Amino acid sequence: MTSNTEIQVKPYQPLAWVFTASLIGAAILAAFNIYPWYSYAFTVSNLGWVVIGILWREKSLIVLNAGLTVIYIVGLASDWIN
């Protein structure tokens, strides 16, 4: 049985891999409690994934990563204020 479906590669794959690697880097920083650098890394990485979500028109990526970006920004702002 043959299939006529082809695997479609999404555009901007290299950019997606860059932000995936930066998320892994942020997780490593968090694992070693390198604060506040891991919060900055997560903020940049998640913001990058918001951009990818917009480019791919994937609402779930946009909502998830925009929410996480806001959470990190609020946390960093709270830390700066206190």
HEC secondary structure over the chain: CCCCCCCCCCCCHHHHHHHHHHHHHHHHHHHCCCCCHHHHHHHHHHHHHHHHHHHHCCHHHHHHHHHHHHHHHHHHHHHHHC
Q: What is the pLDDT of residues 39-62, one digit of tens each?
A: 999 999 999 999 999 999 999 999
According to the model, what pLDDT value does residue 74 have? Answer: 97
What does pTM read for this prediction? 0.85
- Reported as a pLDDT band with limits 50, 70 and 90, residue 82 is confident
